[in-house]
Amino acid sequence: METVTIHTAKTTLSQLLARVEAGEEIVLARGKEPIAKLVPFNPKRNGRRFGAYKGSVIVGPEFFEPLPEQELVVWE
């Protein structure tokens, strides 16, 4: 990851943005102190669909029964 000063970033912004579009990350610094990072913008793509697993998981009535005493002791 390359560090670039603000002055250099102002004069070469187009080139820096092209590099970021290609996947690079660039740190912007004021003098030697890093203050920001240019990273590619990748909007989150949520591939999950609400209700996709409906009907594939079944919870039987035994799930709601109290645990045996010997198992409760283990969890204390």
Question: pTM value?
Answer: 0.55
Question: 28-74 pLDDT, tens per residue?
Answer: 999 999 999 999 998 777 778 888 888 898 889 999 999 899 988 99
CATH of residue 27: 3.40.1620.10
| pLDDT of 4 over the 90 cut | yes
| Domains contained in the chain, number | 1
- Residues 16, 19: Cα–Cα separation, whole Å: 5
Q: Does residue 56 fall inside a structural domain?
A: no
Token pair in block for residue 76: 């204390």
Order of strands across the sheet that contains 26-30: 2-5, 26-30, 33-38
Question: 22-36 pLDDT, tens per residue?
Answer: 999 999 999 999 999
Q: Does residue 61 fall inside a structural domain?
A: no
